[in-house]
Amino acid sequence: MTQYVLTEKPAGEFRLCGLAAVENDRILDELTDISIDRSLVCHMAETLTRCEVSIVHFREVVEDLLAQA
C-alpha cells in the first residue's frame, strides 16, 4: 500500500512542505513545494493514506485538495 508522508526543506526563513508517495521504502513520486503550512500538508498526507489514493491519481488529488483549502 502506498503511504503518503510529509517532506520538508528549508526555504529562507520558512520550511517548504511537500508530499512523498512511498511504497516498500521507495519514493514513487514527490511534490516538494506544496505549502509553508505544515498542518495543511500533514492533513493531506493523512487523508491520502487513509483513503488509499492510487499513485496514478496522487497529483490530481493534491491539486483538488489545494483548491478546496
Give the pLDDT score at 3: 97
Q: How big, in percent rounded to 5, are the helix, strand and coil portions of the chain?
A: 40, 40, 20
Low-confidence ranges of the chain (pLDDT < 70): none
Instruction: Please give the model's pTM, rounded to 2 decimal places.
Output: 0.90
SS3 call for 42: helix
Look at residues 4, 37, 40, 38 and name the one whose alpha carbon lies nearest to residue 19: 4
Give tens-digit pLDDT for 41-58. 999 999 999 999 999 999
Number of domains the chain contains: 1
The range of the structural domain enclosing residue 39 comes to 3-68
Name the CA dihedral angle for 40, 26, 61, 66, rounded to a multiple of 10 degrees: 30
